[in-house]
């Protein structure tokens, strides 16, 4: 059970949040210009890595805000949280 530091509310129990999968997958601005393969890349392909992963979380039972989390999936340590639209911390790349 993680403790997640919501950038808007502070540290809360994981049960208040829902996970939204991999972060920084931008919806294409012009989907109609894309081939099936390019669209599938956006729609279906996710990394699911062991190690440092950038992911989206939603404070569903709190402020309802979405934000980003850097998590090491091998030990579940949350290394950083940052708001939507903010640049991911470079030191984890």
Partner 1 sequence: MANYRIHKTEYIDETKRVSFKYDGKTYFGYEGDTLASALLANGIHLVGRSFKYHRPRGIFSCGAEEPNAICQIGSKKDLTEPNVRATELELYEGLEASSQNCWPNVKFDIGGINNFISPLIPAGFYYKTFMWPKSFWKKVYEPLIRLSAGLGKSPTEPDPDIYDHKYVHYDVLVIGGGISGIISAKMAAKNNLKTLLVDDKKILGGSTIYQNNESIKIDDKLSSEWLKNEIQEIKKLSNLTIKTRTSIAAYHGYNFLLAKENLTDHLPEEKKKNKIRQRLWKIRAKKVVIATGSIERPLVFNNNDRPGILLSNSINKYLDYYGVTCGENIILFTNNDSAYETSISLHKKGIKNIIVDLRKSASSELIKQAESLGIKIYFNHVVTNTFGYRKINSLEIMKLSEDGNTTVGNKIRLSCDCLGMSGGWTPMVHMHTQSGGKLDFRDEDQVFLPKENSEDQISVGSCNGDFDLEIIIDKTVNKINKFLDIDIQDYQDTNIICSKENDKRNIWLLPNKIPLGKTKSFIDFQNDSTAKDIKLALKEGFRSIEHVKRYTTTGMATDQGKLSNMHALGIIADTAGVKMGTLGTTTFRPPFTPLTFGTLVGRNVGKFFEVVRKTSMHEWHVENNAKFENVGQWKRPWYYPKNGENMYDAVQRESKAARDSAGILDASTLGKIDIQGTDASEFLNRVYTNAWSKLAIGKCRYGLMLNEDGMVYDDGVTTRISENHYLMTTTTGGAANVLSKLEDYLQTEWPELDVYLTSVTDHYSTASICGPNSKKILNKLFPNLDLSDENFPHMSFKEEKLENINCRIMRISFTGELSYEINIEAKYGHSLWKMCIEAGKDFNLTPYGTETMHLLRAEKGFIIVGQDTDGTMTPSDLQMDWIVSKKKYDFIGKRSLYRSDTIREDRKQLVGLLTDDPKEILEEGAQIVLDVKSKPIDMLGHVTSSYFSPNLNKSIALAVVRSGKTMKGQKLIIPMENKNINVTVSDTIFLDKENKRLNA
Q: How far apart are CA 23 and CA 57, in angstroms?
A: 9
- Of 37, 18, 38, 16, the closest CA to residue 28 belongs to 38
Site track for partner 1 across 13-42, x = CB under 8 A = x----x-x-----xxx-xxx-x-x--xx--
Q: Min. distance of Cβ 26 from Zn ion in angstroms?
A: 23
Q: Which residues of 67-76 are buried (b: 16+ CB within 10 A; e: fewer)?
A: bbbbbeeeee
Q: Min. distance of Cβ 10 from Zn ion in angstroms?
A: 8
Which parts of 31-90 interact with Zn ion (CB under 5 A)? 59, 62-63
Do 59 and 16 form a contact (C-beta atoms < 8 A)?
yes
The answer to whether residue 92 forms part of the interface with partner 1 (CB under 8 A) is: no
Half-sphere exposure at residue 49, Cβ-oriented, CA atoms within 13 angstroms = 12
Tokens for 59? Answer: 């404070």
**Pick 8 or 42: Cβ nearer Zn ion:** 8
Q: Min. distance of Cβ 7 from partner 1 in angstroms?
A: 12
Question: What is the binding site for partner 1 (CB under 8 A)?
Answer: 1-3, 13, 18, 20, 26-28, 30-32, 34, 36, 39-40, 43, 56, 58, 60, 64-66, 75-76, 84-85
């Amino acid at each position: 059970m993680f403790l997640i530091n919501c950038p808007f509310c502070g540290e809360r129990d994981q049960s208040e949040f829902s996970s939204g999968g991999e972060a920084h997958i931008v919806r294409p601005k012009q989907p109609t210009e894309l081939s099936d393969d390019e669209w599938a890349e956006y729609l279906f392909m996710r990394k699911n890595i062991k190690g440092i992963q950038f992911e989206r979380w939603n404070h569903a039972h709190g402020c309802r805000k979405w934000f980003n989390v850097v998590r090491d999936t091998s030990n579940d340590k949350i290394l950083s949280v940052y708001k939507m639209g903010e640049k991911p911390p470079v030191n984890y790349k």
